[in-house]
């Protein structure tokens, strides 16, 4: 019977989102990653047969286990694509399709992920670009392609599909394009993340967002007690 597995790669909590250090403390950044991972898990859980978190961090794996997902210990010193290769190899004989999403797209549930997966019935690959040219979701038939996550990976994956003669669809979504790396991204979650654990967490930190004129569209501030 056809089945779909979701893979979520997660970096070490201690290495999480260092670009946010002017805005959030290390403890708060860890809390942010936990909230975002929770949102991604809940967005996928009812749509796929198994959700797999792959990480080299025991703390991440313990947290993911408590979320009720399958955990996979990353083996050896490797990069993101190496970790994903391990996870895909574990999954591909157990399922017909794989969806990969990062752990830092908390608005995934707002992006109609059911439609994203349904589209993969018609195409060999469905891909959602990140705003910076990366890949924020990709659905493909198990064993059909190599993964090229990193800078401009959206274009690498499109090129790979074309080279291998795979049909594909670009799933363009504001909500899916938003991965969280900067204070401005936090502002987008504060404005658009209704109903998410991540927005609730940011509000508990007393963070607020307002529009500004300049190089950044939003300014994030912490309310003074």
Q: Tell me: the pLDDT tens digits for 37-82? A: 999 999 999 999 999 999 999 999 999 999 999 999 999 878 888 9
Is there a contact between 101 and 6 (Cβ–Cβ < 8 Å)? Answer: yes
Percent of the chain with pLDDT over 90: 75
**Rounded CA gap, 87 and 77, in Å?**
15
CATH class of the structural domain 4-177: alpha beta
Asked whether the whole model's pTM tops 0.95, one would answer no
The domains of the chain are located at 4-177, 183-222
In order, the DSSP letters of 196-221 are -HHHHHHHHTTEEEEE-SSSSSEEEE
Is there a contact between 117 and 99 (Cβ–Cβ < 8 Å)? Answer: yes
Average pLDDT for 158-175: 94
């Amino acid at each position: 019977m056809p089945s779909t597995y979701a893979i979520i790669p997660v970096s070490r909590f201690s290495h999480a989102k260092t670009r946010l250090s002017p805005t959030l403390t290390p403890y708060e950044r860890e809390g942010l990653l936990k909230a975002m991972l929770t949102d991604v898990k809940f967005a996928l859980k009812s749509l796929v047969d198994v959700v797999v978190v792959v990480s080299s961090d025991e703390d991440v794996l313990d947290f993911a286990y408590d979320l009720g997902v399958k955990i996979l210990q990353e083996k050896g010193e490797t990069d993101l694509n190496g970790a994903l290769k391990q996870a895909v190899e574990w999954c591909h004989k157990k399922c017909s399709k794989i969806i990969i999403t990062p752990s830092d797209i908390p608005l995934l549930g707002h992006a109609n992920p059911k439609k994203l997966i349904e589209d993969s019935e018609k195409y060999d690959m469905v891909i959602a670009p990140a705003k910076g040219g990366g890949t924020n979701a990709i659905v493909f038939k198990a064993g059909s392609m190599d993964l090229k996550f990193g800078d401009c990976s959206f274009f690498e994956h499109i090129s790979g599909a074309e080279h291998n003669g795979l049909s594909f669809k670009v799933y363009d979504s504001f909500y899916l394009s938003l991965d969280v790396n900067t204070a401005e991204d936090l502002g987008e979650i504060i404005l658009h993340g209704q109903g998410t654990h991540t927005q609730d967490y940011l509000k508990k930190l007393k963070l607020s967002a307002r529009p500004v004129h300049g190089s950044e569209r939003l300014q994030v501030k912490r309310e003074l007690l």
